[in-house]
Amino acid sequence: MSAIRQSVEISRRPEDVFSYLTDTSHMPEWQESALSVTPAGGGPTGGLGSRVMVTRQMGRRRMPMTMEMSEYDPPRRFRMDGIDGPVRGHVQGTVEPIGDGERSRVTLDLDFESHGIGKVLVPLMVRPHVKKELPKNEQHLKDILEARP
């Protein structure tokens, strides 16, 4: 299956957008299913190689997963990869300047790797949930960033 892709234009500079997107503590603010995010692994808390434990609500299930920042190229690209659990998300984000550089286009590509029960969960529950949630999340992201001074 192919990745789920969604883009949104935000009236903020790419540096501001990238900084907010890659600060994982903000995930529960703009992602509906993200319940909590805590640093993991004792390594760096931001940038390349940093790891966080993300707990998501999918239907009635709470799904904890460890995510690692595997690409970090400010203010343009980042990638976070799930490294454990039955459903491992892979998120690639790009932030492109628009016009005079005071606006940005954010594109998020999400794909999933499944193990064990995840082979059933991904097509039946996870992908349909993400297809509905991602446009809402990007709208939340836009609303939050455009409201900030």
pLDDT digits (tens, 9 = 90+) for 91-129: 999 999 999 999 999 999 999 999 999 899 899 889 999
pLDDT of residue 121: 87
pLDDT of residue 148: 87
Counting Cα atoms < 13 Å in the Cβ hemisphere of 27 gives 19
91 to each of 62, 66, 72, 98, 149, how far by Cα in Å? 19, 13, 12, 22, 28
Q: From the centroid of its chain, how far is CA 98?
A: 21
Neighbours of 40 (CB within 10 A): 19
pLDDT digits (tens, 9 = 90+) for 35-46: 999 999 776 677
pLDDT of residue 1: 59
From 3.30.530.20, 3.40.50.300, 3.40.50.1010, 3.40.228.10, which CATH number describes the 4-147 domain?
A: 3.30.530.20
CB of 134 within 8 A of CB of 108?
yes
101 phi-psi bin (left φ>0, alpha ψ -120 to 50, beta other)? left
Residue 132 has pLDDT above 80, yes or no: yes
pTM, rounded to two decimals: 0.92
What residue ranges do the domains of the chain occupy?
A: 4-147
